Amino acid sequence: MNPDTAITRRSIDVRYVFMAIVGLFFLAVIVYPLSLVMIKSFSSEAGFTLENYAKIFSQDANIRALWNSIWVSCLSTLICVAAGTILAMLIVRTDIPYKSWLRMLLLLPYGIPPFIGAMAWAQLFGPVGYVSKLYMNITGAMFAPWNIYSAGGVVLVLAVYQFPVVFITVSGALGRIDTSLEEAARMSGAGPFRTLIDVTLPLITPAITASALLAFVGCISNFGIPALLGFRARFFVLTTRIYSALSIPDMPLATAMAVLLAVISGIPLILERRLERGQSKYTVISGKSVRPQTMNLGGWRIPVFVLVVLVALFAGVVPLLSMLLTSFLKYWGAPLEMTNMTSSHYKYILNLPMVARAFKNSLFLAVSAATITMAVGALVSYMSVRAKIKGARTLDFIGTIPYAVPCTMVAIAMILAWSRPPVVLYGTIWVILAAYLVRYMPFSIRTTNATLQQVHVSLEEAARVSGAGWTQTMRDIVMPLIRPGLVAGWILVFMPALRELTMSVLLWSQGAETMGVVIYNMQDAGYTQIAAALSTLVLLVILAGNAVVRKLSKGEISI
């Protein structure tokens, strides 16, 4: 037998063995749990039923939660689109100074966990918040005219922590469009504003629409912000209503609402994918180098710069400073004097066994989830993008399904799948890890897909011609070339897993607390300063991780 033929056959066998292992892994971790949620939502003691869905639309509380989810998400998305598009225009297409610094400040909310951001905004605009007290001192009023613990507060904070999605997407589109189209409009006599309305905006419409769909999904599937700002006002959305249903417990109702939420979240994601595939008719990227035109703001340059700085500070920096300041206050609501400052909260949390245990748990979960998902994601991506083995695209599709599944549905799936024999994981840290693997698998597959597409296939062909098998080619050629992308992808999974709340708060048990759960429980119990101190430490870790990712990706990726 020809040695090269033997090597080829062995390498093919190895690839199919890995595919079979990954396929079984996906069936056990993704397909089986999520299918149980679907089955449970249509089940009752009598068998198949639509009663659970009828219950959603027959109870006023559920109908209100559904309606609240829709209108809050729509309004937040409108604010996101308006703010993100205008800011992207100003940063990319005007002569505003210090663009790189402004871009970094505007993206700061993207790296802050939303539930921690909600805490910071409550500290600013709550009944005894810093801004509220300043207003009362200046005006002599007995209370501030706003209430952060309300539907309006939920809308505002959701918009703040989702607008960077629009900003990133629209900025990228503005930087890539062919400026000759705008030059033609200017040469035809159109002014800067007319060119913007008639040429530039239509060209970036697909990017604006796609970012709006993604922002809507982020808003409607969020749990932390509506929980921290809505519970006190008895304002419920679907995610918090599911949490309440699980607390009763009413698993059939919770599964039906989770499926409904998945459908509502999935439709925009499907539309976004189709929009992305159909953008050929909006082709705006030419083969020549593109240098975006900058609009001369003239006398408006400094006022616009000041306005953007204020927005950036208001959205990201001020809440962080509020969190830091609160962490040093002796008691919540104390006057801002040096005599009322202390570092005892940091000493307390550093010596608290629960915090140490939560940090170890979060670190273990984040490292494990990042390592496992990146290893599996790299295999799936290679089989699909490079080897193009039959069935690999199916695995790629299955692995990316959780991207359209809300975290609450993932948590319910874990409860249903792993709370009964033969494998019982519920009540242990392993069920949280299983949830993380489901949730973050799409991130690893998408990251490695993009990385592998940048490696030319000729390098692998040269290795095989030289007699190297598939395993050796992977070890000596492919892995070294894609290692930077894998490291960046690993961190992109590690950092969200380290701060995760929605799934953890539904799955945690005594001894299996995570950092997100501990912070949420402290805040919910009224330990505001202690929660702020712990949040500050978590934020420092997140910001450090973000700096590492930006350095590895040369500024192209942020957490």
Angle, in degrees to the nearest 10, between helices 99-106 and 151-176: 140
| pLDDT tens digits, 467-509 | 666 666 766 667 776 777 777 778 778 888 888 888 999 999 9
Tens-level pLDDT at each residue, the chain (559 residues)? 444 444 444 445 577 888 889 999 999 999 999 999 999 999 877 788 888 899 899 999 999 999 999 999 999 999 999 999 999 988 988 888 888 888 888 888 887 888 888 989 998 998 888 899 889 989 888 888 899 999 999 999 999 999 888 998 888 777 767 666 666 766 776 666 677 777 777 778 888 888 888 889 889 999 989 999 998 889 999 999 999 988 878 888 999 999 999 999 888 877 777 766 655 444 444 444 445 567 777 888 899 999 999 999 988 888 889 889 999 988 877 777 888 888 899 999 988 999 999 999 999 999 999 999 999 988 888 888 776 777 888 888 888 888 878 899 999 999 999 998 888 999 899 999 999 999 999 888 877 876 776 666 666 666 666 666 666 676 666 777 677 777 777 877 888 888 888 899 999 998 899 999 999 999 888 888 899 999 998 888 877 776 776 666 555 555 5
**H/E element, 48:** strand 47-48
pLDDT score at 331 = 82
pLDDT, tens only, 190-199: 666 677 777 7
- DSSP bridge pairs for 43: 48
- Answer whether 170's CB lies under 8 Å from 84's CB: yes
Say what the pLDDT of residue 189 is: 67
Pairing of strands 47-48, 43-44: antiparallel
Class of domain 60-341: mainly alpha
Using the structure block, give the residue that is written with the tokens 């501990």.
518
Phi, psi of 314 (to 5 degrees): -65, -40
Same fold, 1-43+343-559 and 60-341: yes
> Which CATH number applies to 1-43+343-559: 2.60.40.10, 3.40.50.300, 2.60.40.3470, 1.10.3720.10?
1.10.3720.10
Which amino acid appears at position 490 of this protein?
W
- Single-letter code of the amino acid located at 150: S
CA distance 490 to 494: 6
Q: Phi-psi category of 281—alpha, beta or left, where left has phi over 0 and alpha has psi -120 to 50?
A: alpha
Predicted confidence at residue 538, as pLDDT, reads 86
The burial class, CB within 10 Å (0-12 / 13-18 / 19+), for 441 is: buried
The pLDDT of residue 182 is 66
How many Å apart are CA 75 and CA 280, to the nearest integer?
Answer: 30
Amino acid at 294: T
Q: Alpha carbon 89 to chain centroid distance?
A: 24
| 374 touches 530 (CB < 8 A) | no
Give me the residues paired with residue 295 across strands.
94
Residue 391: per-residue pLDDT: 80
440 three-class SS: helix
Q: What does each C-alpha distance from 149 to 57, 143, 155, 228, 534 come to in angstroms?
A: 26, 14, 11, 8, 22
pLDDT at 68: 95
Give the pLDDT confidence score for residue 550 in this predicted structure.
Answer: 66
Domain-wise residue ranges, the chain = 1-43+343-559, 60-341
